[in-house]
Amino acid sequence: AQSVAQPEDQVNVAEGNPLTVKCTYSVSGNPYLFWYVQYPNRGLQFLLKYITGDNLVKGSYGFEAEFNKSQTSFHLKKPSALVSDSALYFCAVREDDYKLSFGAGTTVTVRA
């Protein structure tokens, strides 16, 4: 079965500092990986995805993620965090044509 793990429940950073949210995956075959963000009282919003091609994927709101096959990781990064980036972040992997399997989520808090 395809699965992802987010090893950190919470990440705290100061505004202006780099932000990294970790995700590792376990899949058979080539993984299709996603990052979603959930703001309070809102639905999940798509940030970016890796299907194939360049290992560095650029997404919305200045986020990017690096696919690392040898480390089976797909960490989300932002060079300079904003207070407005405070939210719940989910990593996900495509299980089949239409199902996603999500990690448990990482709460990001960016302090001013």
Alpha carbon distances (Å) from 63 to 16, 35, 54, 84: 14, 10, 15, 13
Would you count residue 103 as binding another protein (CB under 8 A)? yes
Alpha-carbon distance of 49 to 46, in angstroms, equals 8
Tell me how far, at minimum, the Cβ of 47 lies from another protein, in Å. 12
> Segment contacting another protein (CB under 8 A): 53-61, 64-72, 74-82, 89-97?
89-97
x-or-dash string of contact with another protein, 6-45, rule CB under 8 A: --------------------------x---x----xxxxx
Tell me how far, at minimum, the Cβ of 45 lies from another protein, in Å. 8
Alpha-carbon distance of 4 to 8, in angstroms, equals 12
Of residues 24, 82, 102, 107, which one binds another protein by CB under 8 A? 102
Burial 44-73 (b: 16+ CB within 10 A, else e): beebbbbeeeeeebebeeebbbbbeeeeeb
What's the chain's length in residues?
112
- 24-26/33-38 β-pairing: unpaired
> Segment contacting another protein (CB under 8 A): 59-67, 69-77, 79-87, 102-110?
102-110
Q: Where does this chain bind another protein (CB under 8 A)?
A: 32, 36, 41-46, 49, 51, 90, 92, 94-105
